[in-house]
Structure 1
Amino acid sequence: MRRVSPRTQPALRPISALLLYALAAPAFATSEAVLAPVVITGSRVETSSFDLPYSVDAVQLNQDGTPALRVNVSEVLGAVPGVVVQNRQNYAQDLQISVRGFGSRAAFGVRGVKLIADGIPATNPDGQGQAATFNLDTAERIEVLRGPYATIYGNHAGGVIQLFSRDGKGDPRLRASVVGGEHGTLKYGLGAEGEKNGVGFVLDTSHFETDGARDYSSAKRDQAFAKITIKPDEDSRLTLLASSLHQPDTDDPLGLTWATWKRDANAVEPVALQYRTRKSISHLQGGATYERRFGEDTLQVQAYGGRRSVTQYQAIPNTAQIAAGQAGGVIDFDRNFYGIGARWIMERDLGPGRLTLTTGIDYDRAEDDRQGYRNFIGSVFGVKGELRRNEINIMTSTDPYVQAVWRQGDFDWSLGVRHSRVKFEVDDKYIVGTNGDDSGSVTYRRTTPAAGVLWRVSPLLNLYASIGAGFETPTMTEAAYSANGGGFNFKLKPSRSRQAEIGLKAYLGESTRLNAAVFQIETRDEIVVAGSNGGRTFYTNAGRTLRQGLELAAEADLGHQLSTRASFTLLRAVYDEAFGSVPEGKRLPGVPAVSAYAELAWKPLAGVTTAVEGVYRSKVQVNDLNNGEAAPAYALMNLRLAAEQQSGDWTFGEMLRLDNVFDRKYIGSVIVNETSPVPRYYEPGPGRSLYGGVQVSYRFR
């Protein structure tokens, strides 16, 4: 028998506790039904998640839901298995989101995971996404699709996270809220929603600011949202959407070295202060969706457009920027983007079953007017200096697709296929001295099929299996530089994946639901960091990688006003083939082997809810060689309390939240393969943090 070392045992205890909690909860179930949520992601038509042959979860959000700041999706997706959403505590770089290991290499923003809001992509054609554009104040639910069927959403769809905002319904209401707490955190907002004369509306505006959990990590963010819903007749529906985000001069504390983190988790490296690393973002977009029924058929059309401006000051050493071919230390671009999509959904009887057939096409385009500047003038750092880059980057994608579901007795047979054509174009306008013309273009094409079957063993048990193939192009940022200070890396290939999943969805008794899935993902040409030259990172293709995992999720009503939910993910993610100096068998960096979540909620009085949450993450490797200090495993406990009272047309709500109750010191996320001379891999999580807030709304009758 293998002896478990004393050092290993403490790390196993939180896992064991959470597993026992997740498995024991169903045993205390009562007779109240736990219903499967209705979802759209994956099938593109409303279907119970219980009746779909793949892993998809819906996180319900509402105006008076889980007490939280409602600033980041990391606050609400913790219970979804297979998903790791890490708040970097750095609003200049957005969240780090990975789904079954896809997306873990992102040093900023979201890659490898498709983001969609109200049917409109929040991911560019190259796969770069921005979760910060999600407005949680107006969200009704977030759906998370994992596994083979995510691949039918095309490029960078290692998983799909889709937000749906509320529709304006009922009597008009006016709402105001304020939340504040640790680290100088303050958020206040004003909203209105309802329906008048057949027109539904949801309006919201908010301001958020924080000094940051770390030194030099302050941020301010203003968001606005508007949704208008009109029904021209009984068979059609028109939705108009507009949103904005303004985030000026956001401090970027960068990562920490291991030595600095051990000394002071709230510290900032001197280089960040020297170059005043920071980022400003302005994002504005609008869109419309139209749906019309024609008997048993439905037409859906969507269109959107917008503009995004970003200025970012980096910590690239001034000595490196003097060399020829270096693009400077300031990124400055204006992006115009737009797209259109259409789909036709038809239902027909076919033989002994019922066929639902969806055909559609998506077209998306983004054009960047991009400049690069030195981040110094003489001996003054952190300012916009000499122009070193000037180009137009164009990204387009054209994706036709078809999906079919044939319901035949106790079986549902599903098939989907999508053909993606993604094109990058570079028009280089900075041809000075020895800096040559880096203009050019590259086109990536890939057909991504998926198939699945669901077997209704009984009314309380469904078994399913699915397979699929996906691909992931480099982002424009990843392809922007070649080794030795070269220009655009047109030789970088997209990665290709093959996925398989089997699972079950079951009701245990009448008030407990259990989901379980095992999966395997084989990937070729994984895009990884090749090295760095003068502060610029360039990428290459690795060999094969392998991801194998188990996901469990349980949800139950325990009676006596108690309820519980829990999730557990076990993931083995390794390089299955040696490449460069990286031997076979090394773990993929940024991917925890074990993630777990458990929650026990209690409603002692009408309108009062309290809960305890537990979170566990195993250690995380920081680079491909696995020779850096791994981010240690951690377990956290959080507490929350919410209350609501009604008096006539007034509704009052209060919330209180205490995160990291025992003030654990931990690393919340890592910057994978960071290439500084002394790598700054580590992004610390915050210590004990207390937040509280109030909300008041008035209904006009």
Structure 2
Amino acid sequence: MHPTRLNAMAALVASLFPPMLAQAAPDSTAAEGNAAPDVVVISGSRIERPSFDLPAAINVLDAQHIREGQVRVNASEGLAAVPGVVVQNRQNYAQDLQISARGFGARSAFGVRGVRLITDGIPASMPDGQGQAATFNLDMAERIEVMRGPYSAIYGNHAGGVIQLFTRDGEGAPSVEASFSAGSDGLRKADVNAQGSAAGIGYVLDASRFDTDGYRDHSAARRDQAMAKLTMQPAPGAKLVLVANGLRQDDTQDPLGVTWTTWQRDPRAGEIDATDTQVPKRTLAERYNARKNIDHQQGGASWDQRFESGRLHVSLWGGNRRVTQFQAFSKGFQAPASHSGGVIDFDRDFYGSDINWQDMRELAGGRLTTTLGVEYGRSKDDRKGYENFIGNTFGVQGKLRRDEEDVVSNTDPYLQSEWQGERWQFTAGLRHSRMRVSVADHFPSNGNDSGALRYRRSTPLLGVLYKLSPDVNLYATAARGFEAPTLNELFYSGTGAGFNFQLRPARSTHFEAGIKARAGNTRIDAALFQVRTRDELVVDASSGGRTSYRNASETLRQGAELSLDSKLGAGFSTRVAATLLKATYEKPFGSVREGARLPGVPRASLFAELAWRSSGERFTAALESLSVAHVYAEDANADTPAPGYSIVNARVVAKQSIEKWHVSEFVRLNNLADRRYIGSVIVGDTNKRYYESAPGRNWVMGVSAQYQF
């Protein structure tokens, strides 16, 4: 980072809390009890510890923030309040959310890549790094931990950031709860859950159904989710957790992206298919009935056994994911023999394990904690491709064009050690990731794609934290990371060829320096960071839902993050999350000039919330604002970027308790000013159908009732 720019940002950060720095003398006697209450996290160190004492940028969303005044369908509802993270609801449940952390993951055409997803200790990301945030159960969420920067490297491949969801444990007297929400564009959600503890076994059960007609044309969806969790202590110092999750989506419509001209004409409209012979012409999504079916189940078990000087952790998981997707490819485009068709159909079995030993002992006047472990994962896809037409009928399964077995596995040993003294804390870690991809092509008539790839990379981590005073911590962290191509990025070469065996993993070097400070009921975290990446994976061609990739030049990400949480008194509180991020190509390639901005990455974003709670928290009201800078949709920055926008949302919540009943109601209004804006972009679409519109003014209201036995 340029010294002048670095000094300017450092001065800005320091100016935010001069009183705290002025009082931060080494002999400070400030009492811990006078500081803002801290939150305990597991991410990073794999043990429970205050986030204030972790040399990493990490934020926590508690159950109140996740549940209160929210429908709890998309992780984007709460994650907007986290700096450094951009989570876009694409208004397209066939393609999941767009999630990026410090720019990592922004180019994903669907699903989540570049950011590691974990739920209850079980990876929601596959061994290749691709994940689905739709599998998160937000109804039973206790908290979400979001970590960015170098510390994420200890989680290995595709860990540009780590998002961990933890669901609640069943405890206490049994209770049952039912809730219902309804809103604009046919939104409806019903949820029922039960929790409690009996005979030493805690249990949580939940089931929900979500329906929407969709804001955009051809974007209706239905999502059914279910989860079960059991917790028990089968032996002294032991804890066993069993968890199972299910997700089902049938005929989820895909509205696809649109051109700038179409979006300007009608934000809800789909792109017209110029080759359609009907009058009036249908949209591409309608003509091909673009849609996706998803059936996902997974389960896992974890055992934690505490000993006098350490802890053993063992977790096992497995599941199955079936997907059938009908894409909007024209008949003429499917002509090449090497093309695999417009219908994707795969059946995936996956499983894995994580075993680690954690040793804790006193050393040199401090405490040394060392974690040694190994993680293994494997997925096997039975993948087929078909034409999406029969004769002149489109959107139906036609002739077989692809038949193969794809296997991805990873084996990652890791070591992490942390020494904590009175004022200093030192952290070192090393993870060695080995990923193998093999393809067995059973349909060689369109070209034999059989083959194998192996990727290996060691990702070291170094961190230091200094306690300037009980209420001010300074830290610096450095690490190396890498992103191997996912299966979806390897499937296609250019616009029509087969498996891309030429892709290399992207390699990155991360630096971060930050400060964490508390004063009364205020907590401030600020960080400066820089990431240099070689062989960045970029979009080569994208059309109708199919995207191919290639390696590009060096990229540079520089930025600053700030989060502030404060209780102001009289029931008022505020939360601020601000991000500045300059993400550019450092070397030219093709038509991309040096200094061009990375697509899908806004230069700045700001979330601010002002909330009020009545005495006893019977009533809650809040105003939220979200501002995001403009976003380019392709590498050359030549086409019209999605303009920046600012929106304001409001929510009101009421709660009542009558004997054993606990009832709550909420009303939420989004985009109060009815701003017209583009919520997300499809990076690199060959036909320039980049833009995905966000809703104008919309509403949702809900009610829940819980009975405590």
CA deviation string 1:330-357 (max 9, x = no partner) = 0000000000110101101112221000
Matched to 2:593, the amino acid is P
Matched to 2:686, the amino acid is T
Matched, 1:438 2:440: no
Are the aligned partners of 1:63 and 1:138 in contact in 2 as well (CA < 8 Å)?
A: no
Aligned length: 673
**Structure 2 CA distance for partners of 1:304 and 1:58, relative to 1, 3 Å:** same
Are the aligned partners of 1:279 and 1:311 in contact in 2 as well (CA < 8 Å)?
A: yes
Where do residues 272-291 of structure 1 align in structure 2 (5 Å cutoff)? 272-291=285-304
Q: CA deviation at 1:651?
A: 0.6
Where do residues 448-527 of structure 1 align in structure 2 (5 Å cutoff)? 448-483=459-494, 485-508=496-519, 510-527=520-537
Q: CA deviation at 1:581?
A: 1.8
Are the aligned partners of 1:308 and 1:334 in contact in 2 as well (CA < 8 Å)?
A: yes
Matched, 1:594 2:604: yes
Are the aligned partners of 1:39 and 1:143 in contact in 2 as well (CA < 8 Å)?
A: yes
CA RMSD of aligned residues (A): 1.8
**Structure 2 CA distance for partners of 1:467 and 1:230, relative to 1, 3 Å:** same
Matched to 2:553, the amino acid is G
Matched to 2:572, the amino acid is L
> Which SS does the other structure have where 1:652 is aligned?
strand
Are the aligned partners of 1:485 and 1:533 in contact in 2 as well (CA < 8 Å)?
A: no
Q: For residue 579 of structure 1, what is the aligned residue in structure 2?
A: 589
Q: CA deviation at 1:409?
A: 2.2
Q: CA deviation at 1:315?
A: 0.8
CA deviation string 1:414-461 (max 9, x = no partner) = 0111000000000000022xx232100000000001110000000110
Q: CA deviation at 1:34?
A: 2.4
Matched, 1:691 2:700: yes
Matched to 1:681, the amino acid is Y
Q: For residue 204 of structure 2, what is the aligned residue in structure 1?
A: 202
CA deviation string 1:159-214 (max 9, x = no partner) = 00000000011111011000111100000011000111211001000000000111
Pick the aligned partner of 2:411 from 381, 384, 398: 398
Q: For residue 187 of structure 1, what is the aligned residue in structure 2?
A: 189
Pick the aligned partner of 1:423 from 436, 440, 444: 436
> Which SS does the other structure have where 2:286 is aligned?
helix
* TM-score, normalising length: structure 2: 0.93
> Which SS does the other structure have where 1:320 is aligned?
helix
**Structure 2 CA distance for partners of 1:465 and 1:336, relative to 1, 3 Å:** same
Pick the aligned partner of 1:234 from 233, 236, 246: 236
Q: For residue 9 of structure 1, what is the aligned residue in structure 2?
A: none
Pick the aligned partner of 1:111 from 107, 110, 113: 113
Q: Distance in 2 between matches of 1:671 and 1:178?
A: 33
Which consecutive aligned stretches of 4+ in structure 1 deviate over 6 angstroms post-superposition? Answer: 22-26
Q: Distance in 1 between matches of 2:553 and 2:430?
A: 26
Q: Distance in 1 between matches of 2:364 and 2:221?
A: 60
Q: Distance in 2 between matches of 1:457 and 1:340?
A: 40
Pick the aligned partner of 2:327 from 309, 314, 325: 314
Q: Distance in 2 between matches of 1:143 and 1:117?
A: 10
Are the aligned partners of 1:520 and 1:546 in contact in 2 as well (CA < 8 Å)?
A: yes
Matched, 1:302 2:315: yes
CA deviation string 1:293-334 (max 9, x = no partner) = 121210010001110000000011111212111100000000
Q: CA deviation at 1:402?
A: 0.6
Q: Distance in 2 between matches of 1:535 and 1:350?
A: 56
Q: Distance in 2 between matches of 1:110 and 1:536?
A: 16
Q: For residue 171 of structure 2, what is the aligned residue in structure 1?
A: 169
Are the aligned partners of 2:360 and 2:368 in contact in 1 as well (CA < 8 Å)?
A: yes
Are the aligned partners of 2:319 and 2:349 in contact in 1 as well (CA < 8 Å)?
A: yes
Where do residues 315-334 of structure 1 align in structure 2 (5 Å cutoff)? 315-334=328-347
> Which SS does the other structure have where 1:553 is aligned?
strand
Are the aligned partners of 1:63 and 1:137 in contact in 2 as well (CA < 8 Å)?
A: no
Matched to 2:601, the amino acid is V
> Which SS does the other structure have where 1:91 is aligned?
coil
> Which SS does the other structure have where 1:171 is aligned?
coil
Are the aligned partners of 1:320 and 1:535 in contact in 2 as well (CA < 8 Å)?
A: no
Q: For residue 342 of structure 1, what is the aligned residue in structure 2?
A: 355
Matched to 1:186, the amino acid is R
Are the aligned partners of 2:578 and 2:607 in contact in 1 as well (CA < 8 Å)?
A: yes
CA deviation string 1:39-86 (max 9, x = no partner) = 011111111010011101111014994211100000011111000000
Q: CA deviation at 1:584?
A: 0.6
> Which SS does the other structure have where 1:478 is aligned?
helix
Q: For residue 81 of structure 1, what is the aligned residue in structure 2?
A: 83
> Which SS does the other structure have where 2:414 is aligned?
strand
Matched to 1:129, the amino acid is G
Are the aligned partners of 1:62 and 1:139 in contact in 2 as well (CA < 8 Å)?
A: no
**Structure 2 CA distance for partners of 1:587 and 1:286, relative to 1, 3 Å:** same
> Which SS does the other structure have where 1:259 is aligned?
helix
Q: For residue 265 of structure 2, what is the aligned residue in structure 1?
A: 263
Matched, 1:675 2:677: no
Are the aligned partners of 1:115 and 1:129 in contact in 2 as well (CA < 8 Å)?
A: yes
Matched, 1:538 2:551: no
Matched, 1:638 2:640: no
Q: For residue 16 of structure 1, what is the aligned residue in structure 2?
A: none
Q: For residue 15 of structure 1, what is the aligned residue in structure 2?
A: none
Matched, 1:382 2:395: yes
Pick the aligned partner of 1:142 from 144, 150, 153: 144
Are the aligned partners of 2:327 and 2:545 in contact in 1 as well (CA < 8 Å)?
A: no
> Which SS does the other structure have where 1:452 is aligned?
strand
Matched to 1:456, the amino acid is K
Percent sequence identity is 53
